[in-house]
Amino acid sequence: MSRILVITTSLRIGSNSDILAARMIEGAVDAGNDVERIDLRGKRLSFCTGCLACQKTQKCVINDDAAAIAEKAGNADSIVFVTPIYYYGMSGQMKTLLDRMNPLYTTDYRFRKVYMLSTAAEDEEDTPEKAVTGLRGWVDCFEKAELAGTLFCGGVSDPGEAAGKTEELEEAYEFGKKLV
């Protein structure tokens, strides 16, 4: 059994990425994993100031929700980031969180596997490439971790549209079952 942290980054209520994340989590739980979900909606996240104090203290000097999220990420076996694709990149909230998780860099973090589930109105195969590249850049800074898998579900635009996409819901469930 793995301890999996799922971080959803959409700020839209009833978002397609949230719907697919819920289905992915069902698959992960059915496979016997312990899953915790954190939604960035409603969280207070400030931008990294680049002071690098965290490299010495393993703590960020900014007092907001990012520190608690980073701590949970550091204690998970696997992390799954769930993001809508905005302008062919990850959500700004996700990028801000990745920057703020810099205190983990010098710790004995537990996670070894990182995954991404993304959604977009566009459905071309290359739509998530820049988001995947951005996440890979973050993962590459953590020598003991790897980007272990991604799932892209395109062609969903209107809020809640993913709830009617049987094939995508099944893909998300199967993706969740394979998380380790």
The pair of structure tokens assigned to 27 is 């698959």
pLDDT at residue 90, as a whole number: 98
Report pLDDT digits (tens) over 150-170.
999 999 999 999 999 999 999
Report pLDDT digits (tens) over 37-61.
999 999 999 999 999 999 999 999 9
pLDDT at residue 139, as a whole number: 98
Mean of the pLDDT values across residues 72-97? 98
Domain extent, residue 26, equals 3-177
- Of 148, 157, 145, 152, the closest CA to residue 101 belongs to 145
Report pLDDT digits (tens) over 6-15.
999 999 999 9
Mean of the pLDDT values across residues 123-144? 97
The model's pTM is 0.97
Mean of the pLDDT values across residues 60-84? 97
How many separate domains does the chain show?
A: 1
CATH of the domain at 34: 3.40.50.360
